[in-house]
Amino acid sequence: MGYEVRVKCADGEFGAYMASPASGKGPGIVVIQEIFGVNQVMREIADGLAAKGYFALAPDLFWRLEPGVDITDQTDAEWKKALDLMNRFDVAKGVEDIMATIDRLRAMPGIRKVGAVGYCLGGLLAYLTAARTNADASVGYYGVNIPAFLGEAANIRKPLMLHIAAEDGFVPKAAQERMMAGLQENPNITLHRYEAVDHAFARPGGKHFNQAAADLANFRTAEFFRRHLT
Domain CATH code at residue 34 = 3.40.50.1820
**Band (30; pLDDT cuts 50, 70, 90):** very high
User: Mind listing the pLDDT tens digit for each residue in 209-219?
Assistant: 999 999 999 99
CA distance readout (Å), 180 to 95, 135, 143, 221:
22, 22, 12, 19
pLDDT above 90 for 3: yes
pLDDT of residue 110 exceeding 90, the answer is: no
- The 3-class SS string of 47-58 reads HHHHHCCCEEEE
Percentage with pLDDT > 70 across the chain: 100
Range of the domain at 162: 3-229
Task: Write the single-letter amino acid at 138.
Answer: S
The dihedral through the CA atoms of 227, 228, 229, 230 has a sign that is: positive
Taking 80 as the threshold, does the pLDDT of residue 1 lie above it?
A: no
Q: So which residues are the catalytic ones?
A: 168, 199
DSSP state of 34: B
Q: Give the mean pLDDT of the chain.
A: 97
Confidence band of 176 (pLDDT split at 50, 70, 90) = very high
Distance CA 93, CA 125 (A): 11
Per residue in 40-83, pLDDT tens? Answer: 999 999 999 999 999 999 999 999 999 999 999 999 999 999 99
Number of H-type helices and E-type strands within the chain: 6, 8
The helix (H) or strand (E) run that includes residue 73 is: none
- Number of domains within the chain: 1
Beta strands across the sheet bearing 12-19: 3-9, 12-19, 55-59, 28-32, 114-119, 137-141, 160-165, 189-194
For position 112, what pLDDT does the model report?
92
All residues at 6 or more sequence positions from 217 whose CB lies less than 8 Å from its CB, including other chains: 141, 163, 192, 194, 201, 202
Query: What is the sign of the dihedral through the CA atoms of 106, 110, 114 and 119?
Result: negative
pTM over 0.75, yes/no: yes
